Structure 1
Amino acid sequence: MTNSSSPRATTLFISVLPLQEAHREEVMENPLQQNYLLGIIISICGNVLISISLNIQKYAHVRQAQRGSKPYYTSVMWWCGVLLMGVGELGNFAAYGFAPASLIAPLGCVSVIASAIISVIFLKETIRASDVVGGSLAVTGTYLLVTFAPHTSTHITAHLVQYYAVSWHFLLYLFVEIVLFCILLYLYKRRNMKHIVIVMLLVALLASLTVISVKAVSGMITESIKGQLQLIYPIFYVMLVVMVASCAFQIKFLNQAMKMFDATEVVPINFVFFTASAIVAGIIFYQEFEGLALLNIFIFLFGCLLSFIGVFLIARNRPKIKQQDRNFIAMDKIPGRSRTDKVQPEAKTQTYGSLAAKLMCNRAGQTDDS
């Protein structure tokens, strides 16, 4: 009796083991899935706050230009926009600690979509057909990104970052990136080639390091908050220095691009290059596409393409707000008879600002009065 029941109990116990293992795997995957969704929500909210802050700052600039009394940085509304932008960027920083970098970076198109909608509602800008088509494409691309992106998120620890940092594929990628950056910087500085693609490629190469370091720092801070202290390892401070330095030089080159080129060119090109560099950095450094099905990779890249086209259509030929200086009066608007006999000496002449120039003007005035 005992011998006959023992094999049955053993068989029952063996059949239960796979169910227990499956339940254990499900319990382990649920926090990762929740972290993945939490990262998406935080990133979307952060990008919406950034778009709101940009429109608030734009409205503050327009209002201060109409009043013409005080500079824009004395406006409380402008500082509120700056504060909202800081909160939005902080949300994007935190999102890298919960979701893959190859997903958080493409979600930046949410900021472009929200900015276009807010500018139409609050700033009374005209809506165009390209805005509707571009917004639809960007929303469709964002849905494909969220659906087919890698759904696994690893716990970023100091030991894992050290392991990734010394891997041969990342070292090869870093070497190629440094060589390309030096070549582009030589063309930009020495050869004086001020092409928008060169400047945006410099920004994208720096952005790749920024994404890697931001995700490392954010992930280690997240693990430290959960109870596993990661701030005692030197790799945390190395990544922190890389993050600050790459962000500073990235902002420097981006501001130079904004001075040389129009925003309608800089915004879509920067979004495309930044997103592409972030995806490549996530694939090479954090191996985020490892084990992902080929169909998922194809649809994910197709969603990125739709987002790129949508952002390009939204940013293309945006109407410019031209502000006229209140202190400037056109010459043809000045009352009185026109005078062509008195000519201001040119600044390049030797007599400009000298006694001879003043005597010439006085002599012309005496001749006219006589």
Structure 2
Amino acid sequence: VHLHDGAGVANRKTAVPPRVMRRLQEPGTRVLLDLPCEASEVGSGDSGSNVTYHSVDGSELGATGIVIGIIMGLCSSVLINTGQNLQANGLTATPEAKDNPCQSKTWRLGLLVFIFGSFGNFAAFTFAPASVLVPLEAVQFVTNVVFNKCVNKKVISSRMVAGVILAVSGVGTVVIFGPRSEQCFTIDIMIGYWRSALWWCYLIGTLGLSLAMFFVHKAYSRALEAGTPKRGSVHVLPISFALCWALVGGAQMIVHSKAIAELMELIASHASEKMAGQPFPLATWYFWLEMSLLSICGLIWLYKMNESLGLYDPLFIIPLLQSSYIVFGTVAGGIFFQEFANLSEKGLAGKLSWPLFILGMVMIVFGLYLIAPPGLSADEEGNVSQGVPRERVVSDPSSPGNSKRRKSDRMISLSESYPNCKVEPTQVPWQSASSKGAVEVGSWRCGCCCWLRATFLG
């Protein structure tokens, strides 16, 4: 059966169930099919019977729905970044928060704001395309700078401002000239995405790169704990951390969030009797596979985002993580949902869409480079410096220099009685080794467990 556009030109084929085919072969038969595509005419070829069908993709809101999705995405991005910064402030708010972060109301409020924003981002996927929503995460750069400038009273360098502007401009370029394909989904179509050779090549490649970054971060961390930091640790540690967990956590979370959002849309369509003959999504193995993958990737991303706040300065690590999340999430979503397939034909700039799309990605990466702290001298790199994990390097005020001890010597066993977080004075990553006023920062590691214990057990 050939699907035709308005001019009567066949543009693609679709499979028709045998029982429907038998009806089509009966002279004079007209059948109304419910398919998740735009209304068109279908010719059977042999019998000449016509089949009409209507859209059941749940997009009745049209342009209004996209606007709602964009507004939800923007508000959710602001909430996510605000929550992250509140969590960071909660770690240093009171002496009690150093031993047990979950006792800080600011930290708990930040966690709730972050979770609420994350759910808002997920809900926005049901209104607007992923290729539009993911780049909107760039608003977090603006929120991060404003929060740290106004609330934390930090000095924002012109280099960092330029990096933020360049990164946001790059994301805008990706949004304008990136994929604009309008797709319709069924369970069979989304299962078919998993059979794509390009997707499997991307998946294997990114997981391999993530594993490589994990071992790089591990090697540099061990060298730092041993008191012999490798050259370039200032940038290698946070960048390898961000790349590793953005690839395996954030980017994959976007793909499976979009898939679950589309499946939820199919559930709503099924309830309205528009999906007669289609399997109920909750009764399929595919739904639970996507839900499991979303839960795993989401928990990994949430855990590592929380961990990063205890390791690095929020003003540095949050833009780094979000840049990686946006870039790799856009690429992963575009490949899985095949949004790049017709970019040259349907893109706003035609054949120039691909070069402009790549240019936008390059602008984001270069903006990330400008956001990163400037290079340090060899003497500074030998001491505690920018970007070095907070809990792994200790400043000893009683000694003329900075003494370094292995983390295992400073941490107590988690099996010991509550509280189970040991705190040591640490130096803020944005201060050099000779800077005064080292700040004590509590360990993040029992954060989620302590919060749950305090909330439900008192």
- Tell me the TM-score normalized by structure 1: 0.65
* Runs of at least 5 residues in structure 2 that lack an aligned partner in the other structure: 1-5, 8-37, 41-53, 224-235, 344-349, 375-384, 400-408, 410-458
* Distance (whole Å) between structure 2 residues aligned to residue 181 and residue 127 of structure 1: 31
Higher mean displacement: 253-262 or 293-302: 253-262
Q: Which has the higher helix share?
A: 1
Alignment of 1:257-268 (within 5 A): 266-268=317-319
- The residue that corresponds to 1:335 in the other structure is none
Displacement after TM superposition at 1:211 (Å): 2.4
Tell me, in whole angstroms, the C-alpha distance in 1 between the residues paired with 2:301 and 2:171. 25
Q: 1:60 is aligned with what amino acid? A: G
Q: What is residue 44 of structure 2 aligned with on the other side?
A: none
Q: Which moved more, 1:114-123 or 1:265-274?
A: 265-274
One-letter amino acid matched to 1:305:
V
- The aligned residue for residue 368 of structure 1 is none
Q: 1:235 Cα shift?
A: 0.2
Residue 81 in structure 1 maps to residue 110 in structure 2: yes
2:86 maps to 1:56: yes
Aligned-pair CA distance for 1:113: 1.7
The alpha-carbon distance between structure 1 residues 272 and 90, as it changes in their structure 2 partners (threshold 3 A), is same
Q: 1:140 to 1:275 in 2, by over 3 A?
A: closer
Q: Does 1:282 align with 2:282?
A: no
1:211 aligned to which of 232, 235, 254:
254
Cα distance in 1 between the residues matched to 2:298 and 2:283: 23
Contact 1:202 1:253 in 2 (8 A): no
Q: 1:45 to 1:305 in 2, by over 3 A?
A: farther
**Contact 1:271 / 1:308 at 8 angstroms: preserved in 2?**
no
170, 176, 194: which one aligns with 1:141: 170
Identify which of 277, 281, 289 aligns with 1:230.
Answer: 281
Find the aligned partners of 1:329 and 1:278 in 2 and give their Cα distance: 41
CA distance in 2 between partners of 1:316 and 1:238 (Å):
41
Task: State the one-letter code of the partner of 1:206.
Answer: V
Cα deviation, residue 115, structure 1:
1.3
Q: Which residue does 1:220 correspond to in 2?
A: 263
Return the alpha-carbon distance in structure 2 between the equivalents of residues 225 and 257 of structure 1. 38
Measure how far apart 1:193 and its partner are: 8.3
Which 10-residue stretch deviates more, 176-185 or 227-236?
A: 176-185
Q: 1:239, CA displacement in angstroms? A: 0.9
In structure 2, C-alpha distance between the alignment counterparts of 1:49 and 1:276, rounded to whole Å: 20
Q: How many angstroms apart in 2 are the aligned matches of 1:190 and 1:131?
A: 29
Once the two structures are superposed, residues 61-87 of structure 1 have per-residue CA deviations (whole angstroms, 9 ceiling, x without a partner) of: 44324x889854223333222111111
Counterpart mapping for 1:90-169 below 5 A = 90-169=119-198
Aligned 8 A contact 2:206 2:247 in 1? yes
Number of residue pairs the alignment of both structures matches:
305
Supply the distance in 2 between the matched residues of 1:34 and 1:270 (Cα, whole angstroms): 31
Is the CA contact 1:206–1:247 (under 8 Å) kept in the aligned structure 2?
Answer: no
Question: In the alignment, does 2:370 pair up with 1:313?
Answer: yes
Displacement of 1:262:
6.2
Amino acid at match of 2:105: V
Q: What is the 5 A alignment of 1:20-35? A: 31-35=61-65
Is the CA contact 1:101–1:278 (under 8 Å) kept in the aligned structure 2? no
* Secondary structure of the structure 1 residue equivalent to 2:282: coil
Distance in 2 between residues matched to 1:307 and 1:191, nearest whole Å: 26
Q: Which amino acid aligns with 1:203?
A: W
Distance 1:185 1:72 in 2: 26
More strand by share: 2
Counterpart AA for 1:291:
N
Which AA in structure 2 matches 1:238? L
- Aligned-residue identity in percent: 23
Question: Which amino acid in structure 1 is aligned with residue 286 of structure 2?
Answer: I
Change in CA separation of 1:211 and 1:259 when aligned onto 2, cut-off 3 Å? same
What does the per-residue CA deviation read over 1:164-216, in whole Å, with 9 as the maximum and x for residues that have no partner?
Answer: 11233323434444555566667777999886455444324313433222211
RMSD, matched Cα: 4.3
Q: Secondary structure at the match of 1:214?
A: helix
Q: Distance in 1 between matches of 2:219 and 2:326?
A: 28
- Tell me the secondary structure at the aligned position of residue 118 of structure 1: helix
Report the residue type matching 2:283 in the other structure: I
Gap change, CA 1:114 and 1:178, over 3 Å in 2: closer
Secondary structure (helix, strand or coil) at the match of 1:52 reads helix
Contact (CA 8 Å) 2:86, 2:110: kept in 1 or not? Answer: yes
Name the SS for the 2:154 alignment partner: coil
- Where in structure 1 are there 5+ consecutive unaligned residues? 1-16, 333-346, 348-370
For residues 269 and 69 of structure 1, the distance between their equivalents in structure 2, rounded to whole angstroms, comes to: 25
